[in-house]
């Protein structure tokens, strides 16, 4: 994976994190309004974004590990 492709992936991760934050904020509003099903739906959506972020970071970490050389 080139440095540019990693940068592109990190931009995608940042956008995904923004969407996660938006769902979390909306979920909080719904919980405060006692709109439990809507709050729960947004909470699950936030979790989905978190899973996507984690998977993308895992891919970048695995790429780095494949090229790393331990130094003693």
- What are the pLDDT digits (tens) for 13-70? 999 999 999 999 999 999 999 999 999 999 999 999 999 999 999 999 999 899 888 8
Give domain status of residue 72, yes or no: no
pTM of the model: 0.87
Phi, psi of 7 (to 5 degrees): -60, -40
Q: Is residue 61 part of a domain?
A: yes
The answer to whether 6 and 60 have CB atoms below 8 angstroms apart is yes
Question: For the chain, how many structural domains are there in total?
Answer: 1
50: nearest Cα among 20, 25, 30, 71: 20
Residue 37 lies in a domain: yes
- Which residue range is the domain that position 48 belongs to? 3-67
Does some domain include residue 60? Answer: yes
């Amino acid at each position: 994976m080139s440095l540019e492709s990693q940068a592109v992936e990190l931009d995608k991760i940042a956008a995904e994190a923004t969407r996660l934050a938006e769902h979390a904020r909306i979920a909080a509003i719904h919980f405060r309004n006692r709109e439990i099903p809507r709050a729960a739906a947004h909470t699950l959506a936030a979790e989905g974004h978190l899973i996507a972020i984690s998977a993308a970071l895992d891919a970048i970490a695995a790429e780095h590990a494949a090229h790393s050389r331990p130094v003693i």
